[in-house]
Amino acid sequence: MITSQIDKQKKIYFYAPDKNTHSLFEQEREEIIKARSDNFTAWIVSTYLQMKKAGIACEIIDHIPQEGIVIADRDTLGNKYPYLGKVMLICTKGDREFHPSAHLHIVHNAANIQNTQNSLWKPYHIPHWSQGKRILSIRTIESQ
């Protein structure tokens, strides 16, 4: 019993309520980026794949658990603001509103950090994962 509680606390959960997106987590990151470009794939899928590759215990879930660290895209959280008890919710957001239930926010727009009124939401600026060959191919097209 104690072991299972410790194991739960060491695992990081990635919230993906739409089970149709769960197959994305089984693909190669480079293939996903070619096929789909949105906040969910840039933050949730890419971060999950990078963490798995690094050997960090993580799991895809379609519900908010009773406890643990949960990373979720703002668009998947909706507009309900429950008290989450023993859950530490980390919300990744593009140009969206902050989520009141989140303990902190990861933002891709540095302007969210510079606006002192946003400090209430505890935003942290972290750029998206590198998109490698995709960036190179876009630059090649633009230079032609």
Q: pLDDT at position 17, please?
A: 93
Q: pLDDT at position 68, please?
A: 93
DSSP assignment, residue 84? -
- Beta pairing class for 86-93 and 67-73: parallel
pLDDT above 70: residue 141: no
Is residue 2, in this structure, part of any structural domain at all? no
Q: pLDDT at position 85, please?
A: 86
Assigned token pair, 124? 């942290």
pLDDT above 80: residue 61: yes
Is residue 27, in this structure, part of any structural domain at all? yes
* Domain interval for residue 44: 10-143
The band of 129, judged by pLDDT with boundaries at 50, 70 and 90, is low
What is the number of structural domains in the chain?
A: 1
Is residue 98, in this structure, part of any structural domain at all? yes
Residue with tokens 């794949």: 49
Is residue 4, in this structure, part of any structural domain at all? no
Is residue 32, in this structure, part of any structural domain at all? yes
Cβ atoms within 10 Å, residue 44: 24
Is residue 5, in this structure, part of any structural domain at all? no
Is residue 99, in this structure, part of any structural domain at all? yes
